[in-house]
């Protein structure tokens, strides 16, 4: 693996523009809305727990994609 890739993966990537901050917020808010919907709709159990956990992963990787991208504005 390229050492630059390791550095990029583990460095802190602050949101450098208002657009990126807003995109991070949009991702969090929409994932939270879906989590609330699933929480109300699905019966308690392992499947529901996994659905919510994997939605957290969606949020994490989506925000990582925004943060690690070198472009100044997110693509939509």
Alpha-carbon span 70 to 58, nearest angstrom: 20
Instruction: State yes or no: pLDDT of 28 exceeds 80.
Output: yes
Query: What is the pLDDT at residue 69?
Result: 83
The pLDDT confidence band at residue 21, using thresholds 50, 70 and 90, is: very high
Share of the chain above pLDDT 70, in %: 91
Instruction: State yes or no: pLDDT of 33 exceeds 80.
Output: yes
Alpha-carbon span 42 to 40, nearest angstrom: 6
Alpha-carbon span 53 to 13, nearest angstrom: 24
């Amino acid at each position: 693996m390229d050492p630059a890739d390791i550095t990029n993966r583990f460095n802190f990537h602050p949101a450098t523009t208002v657009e990126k901050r807003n995109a991070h917020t949009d991702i969090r808010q929409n994932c939270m809305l879906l989590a609330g919907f699933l929480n109300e709709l699905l019966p308690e159990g392992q499947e529901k727990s996994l659905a919510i956990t994997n939605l957290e992963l969606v949020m994490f990787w989506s925000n990582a994609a925004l943060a690690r991208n070198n472009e100044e504005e997110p693509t939509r």
